[in-house]
Amino acid sequence: MSPVSRDILWVFSGGFIGCLLRIVVEIQVYDQILTRHNALTVSMFATLIVNMLGALLLGALYALHQRERISLRVWQFAGIGLCGAFTTFSAVMLESFISLRLQLFDLLVIYALGSLVVCTLTAALGYWLVARNSAQGQSQQHAANGFAQHAETDIEGDQESRSNTPQ
């Protein structure tokens, strides 16, 4: 199999799972709140939840990918494939258009701008959480390494002083 074919297979596999997860989330949202609201607002809410979760995950994956904590294959599978199929900008645009067509201008503004702002912030949150945890992990590792080096120096110093003392 060629490298390009392998790349496509990774993205496709992630996309398949992302698609399934999206349907599961949408079904859960519909089952929980459809009886209390109309189908358009439920659809918007489901899409917003999916896009927020996807943005959070994609932000975290991007931070890991930037720090080379995940391989290119994981990025292709989870970042491009899974998140790409799980989230959808086209659904936001369609639902915004439907709101416009129905002259629900307040809903249009709240939903379209809200989706943009909230999903941008959740992507940043995902990135920040991973970056912060990576930085803490690195500082803990540096501290542990420093402690280990200090301990080695102390042990070596003790051994030298023992060998230099008359017995």
What confidence tens digit (pLDDT) does each residue in 101-120 have? 999 999 999 999 999 999 99
Task: Count CB atoms within 10 A of the CB of residue 165.
Answer: 7
Residues 88 and 50: beta-carbon distance below 8 Å: yes
Helix (H), strand (E) at residue 100: helix 89-101
Residues 45 and 91: beta-carbon distance below 8 Å: no
What is d(CA 84, CA 54) in angstroms, rounded to the nearest whole number? 8
Q: How far is residue 115 CA from its own chain's centroid? A: 17
Is 41 flagged in the annotation as binding? no
Identity at 118, one-letter amino acid code: V
According to the model, what pLDDT value does residue 98 have? Answer: 87
CA pseudo-torsion sign 128, 130, 132, 138:
negative
According to the model, what pLDDT value does residue 151 have? Answer: 43
What is d(CA 9, CA 148) in angstroms, rounded to the nearest whole number? 44
Name the token pair of 84.
Answer: 């790409």
According to the model, what pLDDT value does residue 156 have? Answer: 47
According to the model, what pLDDT value does residue 43 have? Answer: 87
The residue ranges of the chain whose pLDDT is under 50 are: 147-148, 150-159, 161-162, 165, 167
- Over the Cα atoms of the chain, what is R_g? 25
Is 18 flagged in the annotation as binding? no
Q: How far is residue 87 CA from its own chain's centroid? A: 12
Q: Is 121 exposed, middle or buried (0-12, 13-18, 19+ CB in 10 A)?
A: middle
What is d(CA 17, CA 24) in angstroms, rounded to the nearest whole number? 11
According to the model, what pLDDT value does residue 146 have? Answer: 53
According to the model, what pLDDT value does residue 89 have? Answer: 83
According to the model, what pLDDT value does residue 90 have? Answer: 74
- Identify the three-state secondary structure at position 102: coil
What is d(CA 42, CA 29) in angstroms, rounded to the nearest whole number? 7
According to the model, what pLDDT value does residue 109 have? Answer: 96
